[in-house]
Structures are given as C-alpha cells and as structure tokens.
Structure 1
C-alpha cells in the first residue's frame, strides 16, 4: 500500500515516484510506460490523478505521448532526470543535511559513504 503525504499534491508525488523508477531504468528509454489503468490499480489512485502525473512528466520532456499507443520514455530522459534531481539535491537538500551535521557535531571523516 502506497502512503501519500500532505506535503505536495498526490499527482506530483506520483510523478516523483515514477521519475525515481525511471532513474532506476524502469522502464528503459524508448519503452512504453504502464497504462493509466495499470498505474491507477498499482498505486490505488483515480485514473485522472495518474493522467495528471504522467502529463507532468510529459511537460518535463521525460515522456512522450504517442497517439493511440500510449506514453513512451524519451531518449535522454534518465540523464535529464538525473541532472535535475542532482541540482535539486545540491540546492535544497544538501544544505539542510550539512546544517544538521554541523548541529550534531558530525565531521566528514566520521561519515561512511560506502553504506
């Protein structure tokens, strides 16, 4: 069962989860995305919510709509997603992590990057 937060609209949370799957290569570039019905069933969501999430990924240039056959992962989508996620992490998440490390007195040499 999927859990959704109140931090962002559900369609955006789903778009983020689908983007994470795409980063992991599921499905691969050039391959079809699962259908709206399949995703709605998998995530227990209204098909309109799923459609809106997929449209978000189309708007970001990650997916393309092929009339009558579905949505497909664009060539270069994984690289675009990785670069966007990397930038978001470095601008938004990393400063908060650094601040927490500083507050807790954790030094760089104490961190294990191989976990």
Structure 2
C-alpha cells in the first residue's frame, strides 16, 4: 500500500478501500492475515484508532474475521462478496452519471466499443 492520503475522504475509509483493492486483486487471499494495527499505524504514521476503525468496518461486513489472540484474516468468499457489492454500487451510483454523460455527448455504442479496442483506448 502507498502512504499518501487524500483530503477527499477520511483516512480510515481510504485504508479500507486499499485493503478491499488488495483482496480484489488477489494480493490478499482467503485465510491471509492482515497486518497488525500497530504495524500499519507505524508504517503509515497514522493513529492506531484510525487503523482499528478501518479493520472494524471490514469485520462488520464479514470481509475479515477476528481470531482471538491471532489477528484478522480474510474470509472465504470475501472477494466475491466485495465484487457483488461494488458492482451494485457502480450500477446504482456511477452508471447513471456515466450514461447521462454518454447521452449528453451523443456517443453511440459503436463509438464506445471502437474506442475501447483502439490503441489509445482502455483495453
């Protein structure tokens, strides 16, 4: 994880999102331990309570589980659960804005697909 923080969101939310990204990318797999609160706080020079808050959210969402005396571990099915949540969030929150912009610019599906497959496109 990188150590820069944005002013756009609370640090605990940014930390949570970084952990989510690591799970989605497969860098953290089911059964893997999360770094300790103390370690993350020291590495990124943030308050341990900030780290605890991020970890608590992940625990409440059943993305990670607390193992008494051992720490936090990624749950089985966490990646799939996160994908499902993020897909729904995209469809509910982001896609309507993207669709409105596409309509405003009179972009056709063919233009979008051509851009995606062109050398300058995203694919």
Q: TM-score, normalised by structure 2?
A: 0.83
Higher relative contact order at CA 8 Å, sep ≥6: structure 1 or structure 2? 1
Rg comparison, structure with higher value: 2
Superposition RMSD in Å? 1.6
- Quickly say closer, same or farther: Cα 1:29–1:99, change in 2 above 3 A: same
Taking the aligned partners of 2:94 and 2:44, their CA distance within structure 1 comes to 26
Does residue 68 of the first structure (1) align with residue 69 of the second (2)?
Answer: yes
- By how many angstroms is 1:95 displaced? 0.8
Query: Which one is further off, 101-110 or 82-91?
Result: 101-110
Question: Aligned pairs, how many?
Answer: 114
Q: CA deviation at 1:54?
A: 0.5
> Structure 2: 5+ residue runs without aligned partners?
none
Equivalence for 2:7: 5
1:15-30 → structure 2 map (5 Å cutoff): 15-30=16-31
Q: Structure 1: which 5+ residue stretches go unaligned?
A: none
How far apart in 2 are the matches of 1:102 and 1:38? 48
In structure 2, the partner of 1:59 is 60
**Counterpart residue number, 1:81:** 82
Normalising by structure 1, report the TM-score: 0.88
Q: List, as ranges, runs of 4+ consecutive aligned residues in structure 1 with deviation greater than 3 Å.
A: 41-44
Q: For 2:70 and 2:79, locate their aligned partners in 1 and report how far apart those are by CA, in whole Å.
A: 22
How many Å apart are 1:25 and its aligned residue?
1.3
Give CA-to-partner distance per residue, 1:53-97, whole Å, 9 cap, x none. 000000000000111111000111111111001110111111111
- Which residue in 1 is equivalent to 2:105? 104
